[in-house]
């Protein structure tokens, strides 16, 4: 007798459906990492340079990508690896700025499994032994790619000995090897390494481009996000796509499918902006009672005094930009209106005075035993200084009164010393400094700066070489000592006149050209081919 067949063996039973394994959630910053150069936002200049280099076959052997966090340094390095190793859908393509994304090379690089594209985190591989492994490996040809590519992230973390070990290989690598370095602190990378690489500075992504990118991501995710909310997230990201996508991820989870500006404001702690603006308005109006009440409420809500003062400074900064005609991009409507009101209310002298007092107050808060008390004292100083007249107006008024009331000459008026008589032009100013013993500053003014604006007591200069951060202050002090009047000295990148030294050289060259063009001089040179025209400086008094 045949044994009964056991169930499921040899019978055409319907298959029991297996529950599909849920795919793990990928955060937006990883899910929307750019897969080609067209998706890399805000770095058009770098993409254009790479495209031209690839098209002309002028591909450097080492690239250094630098910029703040989240602007796309590592993503760009992977895209460059794709561009150099892509073979196209038919396997016959060459390096291209538009990698196909479907060939085995592109897919393997995108998935992080390409045997010839080696990524190394310098933060955890800092030693010379780690670099020696690279040096030993570069001698061998790539396995199946056009180039063997080494991507070293946070390269500034390598030790000094590791950098030194890498120098020779970096200067003369084999033809099949390319190096791609990424760093957020390029000033820590030795100059010997920088000189051997082609450097790309990735810029902060503008807020408007970030907002547009986040809108596209939100649409792809099927989430409705208000336009003001997108602008807030873009501003909070501070030019970083990764930071902004992380904030957007959090906002979507916070909002449960829809994201409003109010939700983002609460999530980022921006709801206190209105409180900070009211506090600043009360302080500038001289209302001590309301100011202290606002400060107590902020303390009860858990606001840090340092954060409170920084918020006041940020509001003042927005107002300053608005007053200068360069309002910050992407501000919410209420913040933009508040900045315009504050800009109309404050004069330039008052803005600078309030800024300095807030800056001093912030420093006091950071070192005080009780930060809350230090913040209160800083605001009280601001209140009592808010209605003080502008020092320039006081000086002007006093000068006018002095001119209207002549004083009989006295013995003291015959004493030598600085006077309020201002020089008539820039060369006269230099001569005055020279006369008062300020020889070094006079030489620097003559040789190393170009004049942008001369409107005593204002002086705007364009340096032709570094002069040091304290130089404008030192010059202002020297001018005040020489003229008796306070000067406003500033450095600018605006186009200005050449330095006086360069003007003298150009004048001498002009005269020299005129002399050489003279028929008699030309005839003399034809008669005496070895003759030379001596410099005018050397022939003076001859």
The CATH code of the domain that includes 218 is 1.10.8.60
Phi (first) and psi of residue 140, to 5 degrees: -95, 140
Of 334, 356, 386, which marks where a domain is finished? 386
Q: Are β-strands 224-225 and 258-259 bridged in parallel, bridged antiparallel, or unpaired? A: parallel
Q: How many helices (H) and strands (E) does the chain have?
A: 24, 10
Residue 315 has pLDDT above 60, yes or no: yes
| Structure tokens belonging to residue 408 | 């009989």
pLDDT band for 179, please (50, 70, 90 cuts): very high
pLDDT band for 417, please (50, 70, 90 cuts): very low
| Count of other CB atoms within 10 angstroms of residue 19 | 6
Whether residue 378 is found in the same domain as residue 294: yes
Residue 431 has pLDDT above 60, yes or no: yes
Residue 405 has pLDDT above 70, yes or no: no
Residue 400 lies in a domain: no
Q: H or E element: which one contains 430?
A: helix 426-435
Residue 9 lies in a domain: no
**Average pLDDT value for the chain:** 82
- Half-sphere exposure (Cβ direction) of 318: Cα atoms closer than 13 Å: 23
Residue 475 lies in a domain: yes
Say how far apart CA 196 and CA 172 lie, in whole Å. Answer: 9
Residue 11 lies in a domain: no
pLDDT tens, position by position, 132-160: 999 999 988 888 889 999 999 999 999 99
Q: Which residue has the higher pLDDT, 490 or 389?
A: 490
pLDDT tens, position by position, 343-371: 888 888 888 888 999 999 999 998 989 99
pLDDT average, residue stretch 379-394: 69
Q: Are 422 and 485 in contact (CB under 8 A)?
A: yes
Residue 409 lies in a domain: no
Whether residue 230 is found in the same domain as residue 338: no
Of 267, 296, 313, which marks where a domain is finished? 267
Residue 20 has pLDDT above 70, yes or no: no
Q: Are β-strands 458-463 and 449-455 bridged in parallel, bridged antiparallel, or unpaired? A: antiparallel
Whether residue 46 is found in the same domain as residue 162: yes
pLDDT at residue 62, as a whole number? 92
Residue 481 has pLDDT above 90, yes or no: no
Q: Which residues are within 8 A (CB) of 216 and not within 5 positions of it... i.e. 6 or more apart?
A: none
Q: Which domain holds residue 506?
A: 500-534
Q: Which residues are within 8 A (CB) of 217 and not within 5 positions of it... i.e. 6 or more apart?
A: 28, 32, 245, 248
Say how far apart CA 345 and CA 380 lie, in whole Å. Answer: 20
pLDDT tens, position by position, 184-196: 999 899 999 999 9
Q: Can you give the pTM of this predicted structure?
A: 0.57
pLDDT tens, position by position, 89-127: 988 888 999 999 899 999 999 888 899 999 998 888 888
pLDDT at residue 411, as a whole number? 35
For the chain, state the CA radius of gyration: 34
pLDDT at residue 399, as a whole number? 58
Helix (H, G, I), strand (E, B) or coil at 181: strand
Nearest to 376 by CA among 305, 317, 428, 322: 305
Percent of the residues in the chain that have a pLDDT greater than 90, as a whole number: 18
Whether residue 144 is found in the same domain as residue 132: yes
pLDDT at residue 155, as a whole number? 92
Phi (first) and psi of residue 19, to 5 degrees: -70, 125
Q: Are 15 and 8 in contact (CB under 8 A)?
A: no
**For position 164, which CATH number holds?**
3.40.50.300
Whether residue 437 is found in the same domain as residue 302: no
pLDDT band for 7, please (50, 70, 90 cuts): very low
> Per the structure, how many domains does the chain have?
5
Distance of CA 162 to the CA centre of its chain: 29
Whether residue 379 is found in the same domain as residue 474: no
Residue 222 has pLDDT above 50, yes or no: yes
Whether residue 186 is found in the same domain as residue 81: yes
pLDDT at residue 414, as a whole number? 43
Residue 6 has pLDDT above 50, yes or no: no
Whether residue 192 is found in the same domain as residue 49: yes
pLDDT at residue 533, as a whole number? 64
Whether residue 38 is found in the same domain as residue 96: yes
Whether residue 322 is found in the same domain as residue 431: no
pLDDT band for 5, please (50, 70, 90 cuts): very low
**For position 280, which CATH number holds?**
1.20.272.10
Residue 182 has pLDDT above 90, yes or no: yes
| Count of other CB atoms within 10 angstroms of residue 300 | 8
What string of DSSP letters covers 91-143?
S-----SS--S-SHHHHHHHTT--TTEEEEETTT--SHHHHHHHHHHTTSPPS
pLDDT band for 541, please (50, 70, 90 cuts): very low
**Range with the poorest average pLDDT among 201-215, 263-277, 355-369:** 263-277
**Range with the poorest average pLDDT among 20-24, 165-169, 215-219:** 20-24
Whether residue 108 is found in the same domain as residue 194: yes
Residue 102 lies in a domain: yes
Percent of the residues in the chain that have a pLDDT greater than 70, as a whole number: 85
Whether residue 153 is found in the same domain as residue 211: no
| Structure tokens belonging to residue 210 | 């970030």
Q: Are 67 and 184 in contact (CB under 8 A)?
A: yes
Residue 13 lies in a domain: no
Distance of CA 355 to the CA centre of its chain: 22
Output the CA torsion sign for 180, 27, 273, 340: positive
Nearest to 171 by CA among 197, 189, 198: 197
| Structure tokens belonging to residue 50 | 């790479």
pLDDT average, residue stretch 46-69: 89
Distance of CA 156 to the CA centre of its chain: 19
Of 386, 418, 434, which marks where a domain is finished? 386
Residue 445 lies in a domain: yes
pLDDT at residue 419, as a whole number? 43
């Amino acid at each position: 007798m045949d044994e009964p067949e056991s169930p499921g063996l040899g019978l055409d039973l319907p298959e029991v459906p297996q529950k599909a394994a849920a795919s793990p959630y990928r955060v937006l910053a990883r899910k929307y990492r750019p897969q080609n150069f067209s998706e890399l936002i805000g770095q058009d200049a770098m993409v254009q340079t790479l495209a031209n280099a690839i098209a002309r076959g002028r591909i450097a052997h080492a690239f250094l990508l630098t910029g703040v966090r989240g602007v796309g340094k590592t993503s760009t390095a992977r895209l460059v690896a794709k561009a150099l190793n892509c073979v196209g859908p038919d396997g016959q393509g060459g390096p291209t700025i538009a990698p196909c994304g479907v060939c085995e090379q592109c897919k393997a690089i995108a998935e992080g499994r390409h045997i010839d594209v080696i990524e190394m985190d310098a933060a955890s591989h800092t030693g010379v032994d780690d670099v020696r492994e690279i040096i030993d490996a570069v001698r061998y040809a790539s396995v199946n790619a056009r180039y063997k590519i080494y991507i070293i992230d946070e390269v500034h973390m390598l030790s000094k000995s590791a950098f030194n070990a890498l120098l020779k290989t970096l200067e003369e690598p084999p033809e099949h090897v390319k190096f791609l370095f990424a760093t957020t602190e390029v000033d820590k990378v030795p100059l010997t390494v920088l000189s051997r690489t082609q450097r790309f500075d990735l810029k902060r992504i503008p807020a408007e481009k970030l907002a547009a990118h986040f809108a596209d991501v939100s649409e792809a995710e099927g989430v409705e996000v208000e336009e003001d909310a997108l602008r807030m997230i873009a501003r909070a990201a501070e030019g970083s796509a990764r930071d902004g996508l992380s904030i957007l991820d959090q906002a979507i989870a916070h909002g449960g499918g829809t994201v409003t500006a109010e939700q983002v404001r609460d999530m980022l702690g921006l709801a206190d902006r209105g409180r900070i603006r009211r506090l600043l308005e009360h302080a500038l109006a001289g209302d001590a009672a309301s100011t202290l009440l606002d400060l107590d409420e902020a303390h009860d809500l858990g606001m840090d005094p340092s954060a409170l003062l920084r918020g006041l400074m940020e509001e003042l900064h927005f107002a300053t930009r608005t007053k200068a005609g360069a309002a910050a991009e992407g501000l919410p409507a209420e913040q933009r209106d508040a900045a315009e009101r504050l800009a109309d209310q404050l004069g330039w002298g008052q803005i600078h005075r309030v800024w300095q007092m807030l800056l001093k107050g912030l420093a006091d808060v950071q070192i005080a035993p009780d930060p809350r008390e230090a913040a209160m004292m800083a605001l009280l100083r601001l209140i009592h200084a808010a209605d003080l007249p502008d020092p320039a107006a006081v000086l002007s008024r006093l000068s006018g009164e002095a001119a209207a009331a002549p004083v009989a000459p006295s013995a003291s008026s015959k004493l030598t010393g600085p006077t309020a008589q201002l020089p008539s032009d820039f060369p006269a100013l230099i001569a005055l400094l020279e006369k008062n013993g300020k020889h070094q500053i006079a030489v620097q003014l003559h040789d190393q700066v170009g004049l942008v604006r001369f409107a005593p007591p204002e002086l705007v200069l364009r340096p032709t070489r570094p002069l040091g951060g304290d130089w404008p202050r030192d010059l202002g002090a020297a001018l005040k000592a020489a003229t008796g009047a306070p000067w406003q000295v500033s450095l600018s990148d605006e186009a200005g006149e050449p330095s006086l030294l360069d003007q003298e050289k150009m004048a001498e060259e002009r005269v020299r050209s005129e002399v050489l063009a003279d028929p008699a001089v030309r005839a003399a040179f034809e008669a005496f081919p070895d003759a030379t025209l001596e410099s005018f400086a050397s022939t003076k008094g001859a």
